[in-house]
Structure 1
Amino acid sequence: MQIKDVVLAPGNGAFFYDDQEAIRLGAIQDSFIYAGAPTTPGFEAIRIPASSLSVGLVLRDDTVVWGDMMNVQYSGAGGRGPLFDTNRMSNFTSSVVAPRLLDVDASRYLEACTKVLEPHEHKRLPLAIEYGVSQALLRVAAHIHRRTMAEIICAEFDLPLPTFRIPIYCQSGDAREINVDKMILKAVDVLPHGLINSRQKFGVGGQTFMEFVKWVAARTREIGRPGYKPVLHFDVYGWIGQEIGLEPQSIADFICKVADTVPGFTINIESPADFGSTQAQIENYAKIISILDSRGSSARIVVDERCNTLEDIRLFAEARSAHLIQIKTPDVGSLADTARAVLLCKENKVGAYVGGSCTETDLSAQASVHISVATQADMMLAKPGMGVDEAFSIVGNEQNRLLAMLDRRRAHNENVG
Structure 2
Amino acid sequence: MQIKDVLLAAGNGAFFYDDQAAIRAGAPQDGFIYVGEPTTPGLTSIRVPASSLSVGLVLADDAVVWGDMMNVQYSGAAGRDALFDTAKISDLMSRVVTPRLLDVDASRYIDACADAFEPLEDKRLPLALEYGVSQALLRATAYLQRRTMAEVVCAEFGLPLPTLRVPIYCQSGDAREINVDKMILKGVDVLPHGLINSWQKFGVAGQTFMEFVKWVAARTREIGRPGYQPVLHFDVYGWIGLEIGLETQRVADFICKVADSVPDFTVNIECPADFGSTQAQIDNYARIVSILNDRGSSARIVVDERCNTLEDIRLFAEAKAAHLIQIKTPDVGSIADTARAVLFCKENQVGAYVGGSCTETDLSAQASVHVSVATQADMMLAKPGMGVDEAFSIVGNEQSRLLAILNRRRAQNENVG
**CA distance in structure 2 between the partners assigned to 1:340 and 1:94 by the alignment:** 28
Q: Which residue of 2 aligns with 1:362?
A: 362
Q: CA deviation at 1:413?
A: 1.0
Whether 2:252 is the aligned partner of 1:233: answer: no
Whether 1:270 and 2:278 are equivalent positions in the alignment is no
Deviation at 1:416, TM superposition (A): 1.5
For residues 34-74 of structure 1, the C-alpha deviation after alignment (integer angstroms, 9 at most, x for no partner) is 00000000000000100000000000100000000000000
- Provide the rounded CA distance (Å) in 2 between the counterparts of 1:40 and 1:126: 18
Q: Which amino acid counterpart does residue 217 of structure 2 have in structure 1?
A: A
Cα separation, 2, equivalents of 1:43 and 1:126: 18
One-letter amino acid of the structure 2 residue matched with residue 71 of structure 1: N
Alignment of 1:96-115 (within 5 A): 96-115=96-115
* Cα displacement (A) at 1:264: 1.0
Alignment deviations for residues 263-299 of structure 1 (CA, whole Å, 9 cap, x no partner): 1100000000000000000000011111111100000
State the match for 1:192 in structure 2.
192
Where does 1:11-410 land on structure 2 (aligned, <5 Å)? 11-410=11-410
* DSSP 3-state at the match of 1:131: helix
Task: Report the Cα distance in structure 2 between the residues aligned to 1:60 and 1:120, rounded to whole angstroms.
Answer: 28
**For 1:98-145, what per-residue CA distance to the aligned partner results, in whole angstroms no more than 9, with x for missing partners?**
000000111110011011111011100000000000000000000000
In structure 2, distance between residues paired with 1:38 and 1:69: 24
Deviations 1:379-404 (CA, angstroms, capped at 9, x unpaired)? 00000000000000000000000000
TM-score by length of 1: 1.00
Instruction: Tell me which amino acid in the other structure corresponds to 1:291.
Output: I
Taking the aligned partners of 1:229 and 1:104, their CA distance within structure 2 comes to 48
3-state DSSP of counterpart to 2:11? strand
Q: What's the Cα RMSD here?
A: 0.4
* CA-CA distance at 1:172 after TM superposition: 0.1
Letter in 1 for 2:186: K
Q: Summarize deviations over 1:14-40 as a string: whole Å, max 9, x none.
A: 000000000000000111000000000
Alpha-carbon distance in structure 2 between the residues aligned to 1:149 and 1:218: 40
Paired residue secondary structure (2:121):
coil
User: Counterpart amino acid of 2:324?
Assistant: L
Question: What is the distance in 2 between the residues matched to 1:221 and 1:36?
Answer: 40
CA distance in 1, matches of 2:290, 2:374: 31
Distance 2:282 2:229 in 1: 31
CA distance in structure 2 between the aligned counterparts of 1:329 and 1:28, rounded to whole angstroms: 30
Q: How many Å separate the matches in 1 of 2:2 and 2:381?
A: 32
Matched residues in 2 for 1:147 and 1:94: separation? 29
Task: State the Cα deviation string for residues 226-258 of structure 1 (Å, max 9, x = none).
Answer: 000000000000000000000000000000000
Instruction: Count residues in correspondence.
Output: 417
TM, length-normalised to structure 2: 1.00
**SS of 1:16's equivalent?**
strand
Corresponding residue number in structure 1 for 2:414: 414
Q: Distance in 1 between matches of 2:87 and 2:360?
A: 18
Whole-Å separation in 2 of the counterparts to 1:143 and 1:54: 18
2:178 and 2:395 map into 1 onto residues whose CA distance is 20
TM-superposed deviation, 1:415: 1.1
Write out the 4+ residue segments of structure 1 that deviate beyond 3 Å after TM superposition. none
Question: Which amino acid is the alignment partner of residue 220 of structure 1?
Answer: T
In structure 1, give the amino acid aligned to 2:243.
E
In the alignment, the residues of structure 1 paired with residue 260 and residue 223 of structure 2 have an alpha-carbon distance, to the nearest angstrom, of 22
Contiguous gaps of at least 5 residues in structure 2: none
Q: Secondary structure at the match of 1:4?
A: strand
Structure 1 unaligned residues grouped into runs of 5+: none
Structure 1 counterpart of 2:402, one-letter code: L
Deviates more, 1:1-10 or 1:391-400: 1-10
Give 3-state SS (helix, strand or coil) of 2:57's partner.
strand
Letter of the structure 2 residue corresponding to residue 275 of structure 1: F
Identity across matched positions, percent? 83
Question: 2: distance between equivalents of 1:81 and 1:141?
Answer: 28
Cα distance in structure 2, aligned partners of 1:29 and 1:288: 33
Cα distance in 1 for partners of 2:77, 2:273 equals: 14
Offset of residue 2 of structure 1: 2.0
Q: Measure, in 1, the Cα distance between the counterparts of 2:362 and 2:178.
A: 23
